[in-house]
Amino acid sequence: MKKIIISLSAVLFLLVGCEDTFLDLQDLDSVTEQVYFDEPQNFEDASNYFYRGLHSPKATKGDGFAEITDYGTELNGYVQDYGQGINTATDEDIYWNNAYDYLREVNLLLDKADAYTANGGNAADISKYVATAYFFRAYHHFRLLKRFGGVPIVIEVTNVDSPILFAPRNSRYEVVAQILADLDLAIAGLPATANGADLGKISSIAATAYKARVLLFEGTWEKYVGTATDGDGTNSGAGSTKPSGYPAVDAMFNSVVQAAKAVMDSGQFEIWNKNADPNMENNSYKWLFSIEGADSNPGGYTKASNKEFIIQTIFDYESTNRIGSQFTQINFGRNAPTQVALDMYSTLDGLPINKSTQFQGYAKQSDQFINRDRRMWGNFGELILANGSRQISAIGSVGLSNLSNWKWTTWNNYRSVREEGYNYPHLRYAEVLLTYAEALYERDGSISDADLNLSINLIRARAGIAPLTNTLVTTNNLNMLDEIRRERTVELYMEDNNHWNDIHRWDTAKTLLNDDLIGYVIEGSEYETNTALFNPAIAIYGYKNDYPSGKGPVKALIIDPVSTRIYSQKNYLWPLPINETVINTNLKQNPGW
Amino acid sequence: MAPANRYDDLYGSNTGHQESLSLSGSSDQARYRLSFGLSESEGALKVAYDGIKQYSVRLNTDFDISEKLTLGANVSLQKNIVSSPSSSFGQALVSQDPPVFPVKNPDGQWYANFGNAGGTNSIAGISDGGRDNTEETLAKIALNLKYDIGYGFSANASATYNQVNSRQDITILNVLLYNWNGEVANNSINQNPSIESIGITKSYQTYGGFLNYEKSLSDHNFKAMVGITAEKNDFQSLSGKRFGIVDEGVYDLNVATGIQENEGGQTQEGLYSYLSRINYDYQEKYLVEFVGRRDGSSRFADGFKFNNYGSASVGWNVHKESFMENLDVLSNLKVRASIGSSGNQVGIGPYDYVSTIGTGTALFGEGGTLSATSYIDGLTTTTRSWEDVEMKNIGIDFALFNNKLSGSFDTYERKNNGMLVGETFPTVLGVPEVPETNIGNLVTKGWEAMLNWKDTKGDFSYNIGVNMSDSNNILVNLEGGSAIQSGLRTTVEGYPLNSYFVWETDGLFQTQAEVDAYNALYNKSGSEVPTGASALRIGDTRKVDLDGNGLINDQNAADPNGKGQGDVKFAGDAQAHYIFGINLGAKYKGFDFTAFFQGALEQKVSRAGVNNFPFNNPWPNQTIAYNGLTWTEQNTGATYPRLTAQRNLARWNWTDTDVFLQNNRYIRLKTLVIGYSLPSSILDKLKMDKIRFYFSGNDLFEFSSLVDGFDPESGTASVTDDRSIYPFQRTIAFGVNLAF
């Protein structure tokens, strides 16, 4: 009996003694923050994680197609409310949220790096990864800048009690100064090259190329848009406060030229021009974007041949790290060209179509493709008939044009949708050359033939058109700046939102987007006479009678009328997400929203 | 294209069965009961098996080891076998299978929606897209030792141990789709086929040790208890996955040849409590009870693990008073009151107080090699602790006419102090999910009433019971606050949890002049009035500028209503109110009958999900509930706005408007059982103790005030992402009970 009493008491006593068995429980399957970041490998792994924040076709954190489709510009048959200027402010904005999520990761690494060196770690062992963090801090602030203008700059590890959470916006100039400072730190700390096993990582020269992009964007924005979108900073917008030592516009252009030239002089990159190979049929541009294995293009070139991509996301079919989304399909279905887009492309003599005798007119849709820049076929040639016109379908369907954008489609259906494994360019050498030419012209008001030959004529050669020269411009009464801009628009079509950004920094969006969207030239074409190809009942928005075509003013079909478009400078910046302005009343909404 | 009812093709009715057998017996020192069970039930899928089989054995025993020592030992073993389709189940049917495409083409091959492009066909995916099979074994042991020490002291100790082992095999197979001409379509279902096996071991153990004391001294009765309880949960998993499985009829990891992935994982958590209780009563008339406890949880950081709680309650058995003795009609009357506090840790993860490092891979290099990535997973707070729940209660129990009529009434107030609430921070914080912290104070007031009548007349006996309850809460205080916006808001200071804020509307536009006038007033910057292709037309909803600031929106910093709620108003909460139940029962000779109804008198529902109103999204299948109820030129007096496939406009017209908010008042027959037991004259001949045949039905019918016809008990969703979605189901069963 006593034994039992003893054993019962023992049970109670045992329980009293083993509180910790039940309460002091450690995490069994994850490494915790306290013990991490004590060796360089940890910093490398953490910096590798940042790369998913690059805006690639593989949608991360919901970041996806809206940007890829350029929001609907004058080049794009897919009408979107952003391009029409009729979107309204939304409660949330993933491009706001995501940027700050990414910034926190970046700032955490920088914070841990300080602790690492403070604890006796060798700063040189982790300098690459720290520099990578600086690059991404600049990258995400720049994305915020492009979308919202001035935003709160976050360069610390935020917590629930950080004052920055309720801070007002920094002006766009303060944000730019921060981006440039971070890029300079990145350039100083990153390795000169990123090849071999490091391909896809940011090198010092890649950060330099990115700096050129930022400076050209902001320099031209300040030159053409100025403070029009800034607001006063007290009632609306982020204001126009400039930090001390902020560069003047010409100094920015000068820095662009220097940065671009440094990239050009590094010798690391070249335009992927395989036109000397007859198998390529002058279509190097077309197949540049889908290089995978030797079967992925008519010339049998593999990824190793590509020295053009400077910042890129690596995909790979074999390791199942494929694009995985319907990127190609969405691009194909939605980014159908407007007539304006088709008319952008020069003829082989290097002239705009309204100046060229090579242009064959509009009688048949296929005539438009004769003697044209190879990029026109590269971007829109998939559906074109050998000799004729495609039927015009009803306005209101997703693709308002009867052609499609096949820029990203693989050769001979090498890969099906979602299976593509080609590398995706965020910044390629062609852009650096275009940036160089544009900045030079913006700085000096002129550009020499030598500089043109160093830069955009390399791109024009791949496109199969005659070089741009000062003689060509003066003889044909062209405008050099317009031709440089045309070259940029055509070359970078549907890449990383390029055109959307361009028409804003050039301040041309308020005119281009506040106009009828033109689908097809009707006058003088088969469409005028053959109702099987074009049923006039389709023309629910009527016609523009003086569309400035390659054959002078003609009647053209409107696919979205100016009456439904209210695009103005207000739309140059996105509205801040409403929830943020409600929670933090120091955040003033952008002007006009 | 042809009419094709994809729902009817997929869903039908199915049958199930259930058998159980039990043996029991006793001797002087021991009692036992041994039972076996077997059941199988199947989902109402026509095209594939989706079911669960259960086998169970249970042995309950009691031993008197000595006069003072008893031991209870229960062991059971259960096996569950679940098998379901692994893919294409769920929302795809609603959003991606238009009812104009048949399931198969004329050659009997799976047809690709839209002929060629569509990569979906739910029925094809469910039929041939692979299986998700789980086999689970549950073992339980419960031991309970009681010892009577003497002098009023007794002690007991208990221990239980549950273990669950399961293995799940998920096979995802590629299913080719065909166009109408029998050619393989561009897209197929499950383009990246795989097989995955997941092994999980879970255990749950509890221990308790208690010392009791009981003493009666003439009219004074004492009881006291001190004790300790402890529990621990362990979880371990191991899984492997391989891609590239080809359907050869063998479904094992070994047969797949593609990329291989594997994953581990284990967690543990525990609770530990000290308890004490004292009861005292005088002549069983006046009763008091005090409880004190100290609870500890492993989910909190050191220094925040423990909290103390206690409660006190008093009771008065009025009918035992001498002055009530002559009141024969009264069989019971008791008045009760209590006040107490307890702790809550729901919503806290096992190690939420420490940040962990997440890992993954990223692809770099010319050859495309995977490199490791890592990141600090989320933001943590170490300072949060238990949420205190304070409860006050007053109640009365009564019975009249020799317990024929009985009932009770309770009213209570509950305060959640330091309620764990997710505070909304500016997203500049950069953390998608900020942990919940002890920042809210919630007050809930409610009542419960019950009334039962039972009587017997000869062979006929019957009973009727009704009960009803209601509660209302208000979030008195929330640090940081949160802004009011349209729709369902979980936490807003000064309002109940899950409050609806809706747009006040003033009918529909009946003339173009009305539309023009409205646009002239409100179509401007800052207003949410749709423009362009989605511009307002006749038959659309007219929202009211409730705060009079000249804008139609749901925020206004200078709003006199406070909280900047703009043009939305509070319209009740999402909780069901005046919930009631009705029990009916009757017996006559061998027949027995029971029925249970359940319902609620008030619940606000603003339907959510893609099928909530017509053309929320233009591409999925649409609800037909509002057909004939919407504005047309022939029906200008309609309650609901014009149908439009412009989704921005459809959303303006319907989303979170006062008109779209429904009141869900319903009653449903939850269960109905009718049985017949054979009389003893027959049983004796058969040497049986009992033979009973019965019919039972669940959810047989309901009356509901919902306009859109969804299940009144399913909440606000119109479609869930849940893989195993079924339309609402009714169940009927026939059975027989036998006893020897």
By the CB < 8 Å criterion, does B562 face chain A?
Answer: no
Do the domain assignments include residue B52? no
**What would the two tokens of residue B718 be?**
């119109």
Mean pLDDT, residues B174-201 taken together: 86
CA atoms within 13 A on the CB side of B663: 8
Supply the mean pLDDT for chain B.
84
pLDDT tens track for A328-378 = 888 887 788 999 999 999 999 999 999 999 999 999 999 999 999 999 999
Of B267, B296, B372, the CB nearest to A29: B267
Residue range(s) defining the domain that contains residue B705: 579-600+665-739
pLDDT of residue B27: 85
Do B727 and B589 lie in a common domain?
yes
Instruction: Report the DSSP beta bridge partners of residue A425.
Output: A312
**What would the two tokens of residue B468 be?**
């009803």
Smallest CA–CA distance from A415 into chain B, residue: B186
Which has more pLDDT, B621 or A548?
A548
Do the domain assignments include residue B729? yes
Do B466 and B591 lie in a common domain?
no
Distance CA A251, CA A253 (A): 5
pLDDT tens track for A340-353 = 999 999 999 999 99
pLDDT tens track for A169-192 = 999 999 999 999 999 999 999 999
pLDDT of residue B346: 76
By the CB < 8 Å criterion, does B619 face chain A?
Answer: no
pLDDT of residue B117: 60
> What DSSP string runs through A259-313?
HHHHHHHH--------TTSGGGTT-HHHHHTT--SGGGSTT---GGG---EEEEE
- We report the CATH number of the domain holding residue B414 as 2.40.170.20
Do the domain assignments include residue B507? no
pLDDT of residue A65: 58
Number of folded domains in chain B? Answer: 2
- In Å, how far is A565's CA from the nearest CA of chain B? 7
Distance CA A452, CA A458 (A): 9
Chain A residue numbers touching B209 (CB-CB < 8 A): 8, 11-12, 15
Residue range(s) defining the domain that contains residue A557: 336-404+515-564
pLDDT band at A419 (very low <50, low <70, confident <90, very high): confident
Contact flag A30-B357 (C-beta cutoff 8 Å): yes
Contact flag B371-A84 (C-beta cutoff 8 Å): no
In this structure, are residues B691 and B677 in contact, taking their beta carbons and an 8 Å threshold? yes
Whether residue A441 has pLDDT greater than 90 = yes
Do the domain assignments include residue B570? no
Candidates B13, B17, B33; CA nearest to B25 is B33
- Give the 3-state secondary structure of residue A321: strand
Do the domain assignments include residue A42? no
Candidates A345, A461, A342; CA nearest to A403 is A342
Do the domain assignments include residue B380? yes
pLDDT of residue B92: 56
Number of A to B CB contacts under 8 A, please give it.
253
Do the domain assignments include residue B429? yes
Do B441 and B293 lie in a common domain?
yes
Distance CA B667, CA B662 (A): 16
**What would the two tokens of residue A579 be?**
């929830």
Smallest CA–CA distance from B185 into chain A, residue: A416
Whether residue B596 has pLDDT greater than 90 = yes
Interface of B with A in 170-199 (CB under 8 A): 186-187, 191-192
Do B460 and B596 lie in a common domain?
no
Q: What are phi and psi of B526, to 5 degrees?
A: 95, -15
Helix axes A249-266, A204-220, angle to 10 degrees: 150
In this structure, are residues A299 and A287 in contact, taking their beta carbons and an 8 Å threshold? yes
Which has more pLDDT, A125 or A69?
A125
pLDDT tens track for A256-275 = 999 999 999 999 999 999 99
The residue from B423, B446, B481 where one domain ends is B481
In this structure, are residues A221 and A253 in contact, taking their beta carbons and an 8 Å threshold? no
In this structure, are residues B274 and B293 in contact, taking their beta carbons and an 8 Å threshold? yes
Do the domain assignments include residue A254? no
Whether residue B660 has pLDDT greater than 60 = yes
Whether residue B326 has pLDDT greater than 80 = no
In this structure, are residues B269 and B230 in contact, taking their beta carbons and an 8 Å threshold? no
Do the domain assignments include residue A68? no
Distance CA B443, CA B432 (A): 29
Do the domain assignments include residue B396? yes
Do the domain assignments include residue B445? yes
Do the domain assignments include residue A493? no
Whether residue B271 has pLDDT greater than 60 = yes
Whether residue A17 has pLDDT greater than 90 = no
By the CB < 8 Å criterion, does B20 face chain A?
Answer: no
pLDDT of residue B723: 39
- In Å, how far is B36's CA from the nearest CA of chain A? 33
The residue from B462, B481, B500 where one domain ends is B481
- In Å, how far is A311's CA from the nearest CA of chain B? 12
By the CB < 8 Å criterion, does B151 face chain A?
Answer: no
pLDDT of residue B45: 78
- Give the 3-state secondary structure of residue A131: helix
pLDDT band at B332 (very low <50, low <70, confident <90, very high): confident
Number of folded domains in chain A? Answer: 1
Which has more pLDDT, A415 or A261?
A261
Whether residue A551 has pLDDT greater than 90 = yes
Distance CA B631, CA B507 (A): 11
**Interface probe, candidates A5, A29, A292, A573, chain B, greatest B C-beta count within 10 A:** A29
Do the domain assignments include residue A221? no
Contact flag A4-B355 (C-beta cutoff 8 Å): no
pLDDT of residue B721: 43
Supply the mean pLDDT for chain A.
91
The residue from B428, B458, B481 where one domain ends is B481
pLDDT band at A4 (very low <50, low <70, confident <90, very high): low
Check: complex ipTM more than 0.90: no
**What would the two tokens of residue A576 be?**
């801040």
Chain B residue numbers touching A48 (CB-CB < 8 A): 362, 364, 371-374
Smallest CA–CA distance from A413 into chain B, residue: B186
Which has more pLDDT, A250 or B66?
A250
Do the domain assignments include residue A449? no
Contact flag A104-B431 (C-beta cutoff 8 Å): yes
Do B587 and B448 lie in a common domain?
no
Do B595 and B450 lie in a common domain?
no
Do B341 and B449 lie in a common domain?
yes
Do the domain assignments include residue A541? yes
Of B149, B356, B530, the CB nearest to A32: B356
Burial of B40 (0-12, 13-18, 19+ CB in 10 A): middle
Which has more pLDDT, B360 or B205?
B205
**Interface probe, candidates A39, A43, A45, chain B, greatest B C-beta count within 10 A:** A45
- Give the 3-state secondary structure of residue B493: coil
pLDDT of residue B722: 41
By the CB < 8 Å criterion, does B155 face chain A?
Answer: yes
**What would the two tokens of residue B339 be?**
């006040």
pLDDT tens track for B60-93 = 999 988 888 899 999 999 999 999 888 776 655 5
Q: What are phi and psi of A572, to 5 degrees?
A: -65, -30
Do B587 and B729 lie in a common domain?
yes
Do the domain assignments include residue A250? no
- Pick the range with the lowest mean pLDDT from A211-220, B260-269, B272-281: B260-269
In this structure, are residues B291 and B310 in contact, taking their beta carbons and an 8 Å threshold? yes
Which has more pLDDT, B482 or A149?
A149
pLDDT of residue B91: 55
Interface of B with A in 370-429 (CB under 8 A): 370-377, 379, 381, 423-429
